[in-house]
Chain A
Amino acid sequence: MGSELDVRAEFPILNQSINGKPLVYLDSAASTQRPNSVLAAMDRFSKTSNANVHRGVHTLSQRATDEFESARVTVQNFVGADDSAEIIWTKGCTESLNLVAASWGGANLKPGDEILLTNMEHHANIVPWQLIAEKTGAVVRPIPISDDCVVDLQTFREMVTSRTKVVGIKHVCNATGVVNPVREMAEIAKSVGAIVVADGAQALAHVPVNVKELGVDFYAMSSHKVYGPMGVGALYGRRELLEAMPPFMGGGDMIRSVSFAKTTFNEIPNKFEPGTPNVSGVIGFAAALDWYESVGKEQIWAHENQLAQTLRNTLDQIPGVRTIGKCENQAPVVSFVMDDAHPHDVGTILDSHGVAIRTGHHCCMPLMERLGIPGTSRASFAVYNTNQEINVLIEALKNVVDIFSKC
């Protein structure tokens, strides 16, 4: 358990120098890197099967359509959905969440209805709800969290009433690695008939995801957080809800028939997929999930969680450094603040050592405000990281301390 996995060579991008030092990539929570098999799958598609989907009667179009629909089944199985029609291709989590807010929210929210969102949500699971609240007269309320970035379940239980129509939860917090009790929260939400919308951006690569077991109605995913390409993702939605929802965008492929008198819409998932989709992206996304499962999810999690825990333990021993967020089985995201150095300065100094981390508010301004900090420095891990890289990070942080202790 926790030993290093022999996959690093499958990620060509990692084998390079940055500012004269070997690259130490600790920003996988922003975007993971892609293994050769994902790059090859996309390349092969482009070279052998590239054609528009759901349109042509010719062989290439059929081949592209088959691969495209087969990728949908891969995602369906990966998240334990009943039916591949419950998987809608999108640009990623942000579009998935906007789709739910605009379509479901636009059709169902009334003045005074409440949308409850955890105080740690990413802007992508806040702003779409604010936009639809503005239009419908619904109200967005934050679900309080503790100083450790853990949802206050007791208060949440008290907040849930017959007015509650939507509960929005990120499965794993991108800023702190805290894993939210989605199943417990979904049960509470269900008791009043509210829908549960989970943002799975950080979860897919790091914790078990089964939409049925979690009891969510919608689950948003991004491919580039789980070893796949950028600009593609998916939305899982419960069939019954998706069927009743109006289209999110109009165009080709989402209609059954169009006339100037009346247009009728296609069935799900096509109803929500107008226009030519990012087919090679979808192929890459499915290839990434296949690769991830072939390496072994449990082995990956054991490895990256060991790295994160080692780093947390080390940071906790450095005076003037404080880690942010704490829970059981925390995902491999390590956020910290330093007494004397602002995250932006930490990021620049680390980069000069070849170490890539994310600094700032991580698109979670309400969370930063709640915690009373301007931002954090965040090191996040994936399958390809090593214990040696933690040593490099720690040495680089000592340089930060040195620089800022000069005055």
Chain B
Amino acid sequence: MLSELYQEVILDHGKKPRNFGQLASATHQAEGYNTLCGDRVIVQVEMDGETVRNIQFVGAGCAICMASTSMMTSFVKGKSINEIEGVFEVFHSAVTGGEADMEPLGDLEALVGVKQYPNRIKCATLGWHALSSAFKSPIQEEK
């Protein structure tokens, strides 16, 4: 159902993405790019050891991509890499139609409607994939 995909919370995050803009204090960053539709997000993270102290993103894309990335940034702030990757696994399973316990997803559950639209799943996971890459991509200090 279209109304499950374009819920108010998604439209709201899509139009007014949270944590949007460059993060001056970023220690890690990575880009997610969908060659099919041109959606592009750059996720910037300030890590405190294994914990996300702060996170912002820039880029442009469809409502699902922008909303999902926006909701992700709000969700992961203050959480550890382990915790985040666990939730990403649940989220990924949920949006690809697998069995998933929605409990840990909180607000992110709104995005699960995307499972009815196989060609939009990548929109909902692009920001998450970028975040996963960012954890492995420390920003090199320029000398």
Q: Does A343 contact B (CB under 8 A)?
A: yes
Cβ–Cβ contact A368 & B38, under 8 A:
yes
Contacts of A76 in B (CB 8 A): none
Contacts of A343 in B (CB 8 A): 37, 62
Instruction: From A345, A360, A361, A368, give the contact of B63 (CB < 8 A).
Output: A345
Cβ–Cβ contact B38 & A404, under 8 A:
no
Q: Does A403 contact B (CB under 8 A)?
A: yes
Chain B, residues 11-24, CB within 8 Å of chain A (1/0): the string is 11011100000000
Q: Does B120 contact A (CB under 8 A)?
A: yes
Instruction: From B11, B12, B16, B60, give the contact of A374 (CB < 8 A).
Output: B60
Measured CB to CB, the closest approach of chain A to B35, in angstroms, equals 9
Q: Does A352 contact B (CB under 8 A)?
A: yes
- Provide the bound-state CA to CA distance between A374 and B16, in Å: 19
- Provide the bound-state CA to CA distance between A404 and B37, in Å: 19
Contacts of B5 in A (CB 8 A): 348
Q: Does A60 contact B (CB under 8 A)?
A: no
Cβ–Cβ contact B38 & A375, under 8 A:
yes
Q: Which of B19-78 contact A (CB under 8 A)?
A: 36-39, 60-65
- Provide the bound-state CA to CA distance between A359 and B61, in Å: 13
- Provide the bound-state CA to CA distance between A54 and B7, in Å: 61
Cβ–Cβ contact A406 & B63, under 8 A:
no
Please judge, given known A-B contacts A360-B37, A361-B38, A368-B38, whether A404 and B8 are in contact too, CB under 8 Å: no
Query: How many CB-defined contacts (below 8 Å) exist between A and B?
Result: 55
Q: What residue of chain B has the Cβ atom nearest to residue A361's Cβ?
A: B38
Q: Which of A334-356 contact B (CB under 8 A)?
A: 340-345, 348-349, 352
Contacts of A374 in B (CB 8 A): 37-39, 60-61
Cβ–Cβ contact A342 & B2, under 8 A:
no
Cβ–Cβ contact A406 & B8, under 8 A:
yes
Q: Does A261 contact B (CB under 8 A)?
A: no
Chain B residues with a Cβ closer than 8 Å to the other chain, count: 22
Contacts of B37 in A (CB 8 A): 343-344, 359-361, 374-375
Please judge, given known A-B contacts A360-B36, A360-B38, A374-B38, whether A345 and B15 are in contact too, CB under 8 Å: no
Cβ–Cβ contact A342 & B62, under 8 A:
yes
Cβ–Cβ contact B61 & A407, under 8 A:
no
Instruction: From A344, A368, A406, give the contact of B62 (CB < 8 A).
Output: A344
Instruction: From B11, B12, B16, B39, give the contact of A344 (CB < 8 A).
Output: B39
Cβ–Cβ contact B62 & A345, under 8 A:
yes
Q: What residue of chain A has the Cβ atom nearest to residue B34's Cβ?
A: A344
Instruction: From B8, B117, B123, give the contact of A407 (CB < 8 A).
Output: B8
- Provide the bound-state CA to CA distance between A125 and B65, in Å: 31
Contacts of B8 in A (CB 8 A): 406-407
Chain A, residues 131-150, CB within 8 Å of chain B (1/0): the string is 00000000000000000000
Instruction: From B16, B63, B117, give the contact of A342 (CB < 8 A).
Output: B63
Q: What residue of chain B has the Cβ atom nearest to residue A353's Cβ?
A: B2
- Provide the bound-state CA to CA distance between A341 and B39, in Å: 13
Cβ–Cβ contact B36 & A348, under 8 A:
no
Cβ–Cβ contact B120 & A344, under 8 A:
yes
Instruction: From B16, B38, B60, B63, give the contact of A341 (CB < 8 A).
Output: B63
Interface of B with A (CB < 8 Å)? 2, 5-6, 8, 11-12, 14-16, 36-39, 60-65, 117, 120, 123
Interface of A with B (CB < 8 Å)? 340-345, 348-349, 352, 359-361, 365, 368, 374-375, 403-404, 406-407
20 extra A-B contacts, CB within 8 A, seeds A345-B64, A361-B38: A340-B15, A342-B63, A344-B37, A344-B39, A344-B61, A344-B62, A344-B65, A345-B63, A348-B5, A359-B37, A360-B36, A368-B38, A374-B38, A374-B39, A374-B60, A375-B37, A375-B38, A404-B11, A404-B63, A406-B8
Q: Which 9 A-B pairs have the closest CB atoms?
A: A344-B62, A342-B62, A374-B38, A407-B11, A352-B2, A344-B37, A407-B12, A345-B63, A360-B37
Q: List 26 A-B contacts (CB under 8 A).
A: A340-B15, A344-B37, A344-B39, A344-B120, A344-B123, A345-B6, A345-B62, A345-B63, A348-B117, A349-B6, A359-B37, A360-B36, A360-B37, A360-B38, A361-B38, A365-B38, A374-B39, A374-B60, A375-B37, A375-B38, A403-B11, A404-B15, A407-B8, A407-B11, A407-B12, A407-B15
